[in-house]
Amino acid sequence: MKALKMIQYGDIETSLNFQQEDKPEPAAHEVLIKVHAASVNPIDNKILRGDFKAFSKVNFPAGIGRDVSGEVVAVGHAVAGFKKGDQVFSRVGEEHVGTVAEFVTVDADHLAKKPENLSHQDAAGIPLVGLTSYQALIKIAKLKEGDKILIHAGSGGIGSMAIQLAKSYGAYVITTTSTENVQWVKALGADQVIDYKKENYLDMLSGIDVVFDTLGGQYTLDAFKVIKDGGRVVSITGELDPQTAKEMGLNWLIRKLLGFKSRAITKAAKQKAALYRMVLMKADGLQLGALSQLYQDEIINPVMDRTYSFEQSKEAFAYLATGRAKGKVVISMQTESAN
């Protein structure tokens, strides 16, 4: 089969190559999926650049891509609940990374039935951003009806999903975006949209229940300026908190160094008696199934930017790297060109 592989750390053009390899066989608790579509995510480009090699080095050549939608073509002998011919989607576990390929094996526990009303291209854009938002807002921040939530970068893949998810739980949603995207994110359901090119959200907001930090850096620290006492700040790009570092299995020395690095955030959280957590999304088929139902019921809708063919995979990663995508960027095994 043909698969896109990372062959070294570096730029997209020189570090990604198509290679031929044997089609994988599913283990006892796995299924084999014929890939119809895969989506690309910022984490893929970050790993390719080598941003995380201090924590986890890649053994080259290595697969790339964590989201997939396709058809089950074989199941392991211990798999229950899925059969050949099922239309499914998944955010695969780290041991199965490599969805930009003709076939991929997936742990059955990380799998869910694809929403029947969505194409494989639409479904492929859901798992990573959906599970990240679900785990951040529902599982960690405990978002509830009436909460005021600030979601940064509302036009991105994560932001566009998080806005809809938060609205489905009855929250009052505030988001930031650029001038050209203001009306677009309003249409997603945002109650208040702040144009960061013209307005400073720090001058406009206070008493926020939850901040979903998708930008990191100073934005993480500034979140504590707008939340209420006892509020919750959940980040996908900020500094690691002690609990998350422990869950990652990092040794005590690295945790101590990370604690020193995050001391400003720890201090800011303490002053507000606030929760701060960094979210490291985990593949979860049950949670993905819950999200699938929200799409099936059209409570949440997919937000697509561009679709590329398998042969245009490098172009898909390059476009995502520009930071201009509104919604998801998908690679399809069934299309000829970007649209």
Task: List pLDDT tens digits, range 155-164.
Answer: 999 999 999 9
Residues whose CB is less than 8 angstroms from the CB of residue 100 and which lie 6 or more positions away in sequence, other chains included: 3, 4, 38, 40, 63, 64, 65, 310, 313, 331
275 membership: H or E segment, kind and range: strand 275-278
Tally of CA atoms within 13 A in the half-sphere of 156 that contains its CB: 22
Q: In CATH, what number does 2-126+302-332 get?
A: 3.90.180.10
CA distance 128 to 189: 21
**What confidence tier does 334 reach under pLDDT thresholds 50, 70, 90?**
confident
The ranges of the chain annotated as CATH 3.40.50.720 are 129-278
**Is this model's pTM higher than 0.85 or not?**
yes
| pLDDT tens string 259-291 | 556 788 989 999 999 999 989 899 999 999 999
**What end-to-end distance do the CA atoms of the chain give, in Å?**
26
- Identify the CATH number of the domain defined by range 129-278: 3.40.50.720
Confidence (pLDDT) at 263: 82
Residues of the chain with CATH 3.90.180.10: 2-126+302-332
Q: What is the pLDDT of residue 336?
A: 42
- Read off the pLDDT of residues 169-183 as tens digits, 9 standing for 90 and up: 999 999 999 999 999
Average pLDDT (297-324) is 95
- What pLDDT score does 46 carry? 92
pLDDT band at 339 (very low <50, low <70, confident <90, very high): very low
How high does pLDDT run on average in the chain? 92
Residue 2 has pLDDT above 80, yes or no: yes
Convert the pLDDT of each residue in 185-244 to its tens digit: 999 999 999 999 999 999 999 999 999 999 998 999 999 999 999 999 999 987 766 666
Contact 210, 138 (CB under 8 A): no
Portion of the chain with pLDDT greater than 90, in percent: 84
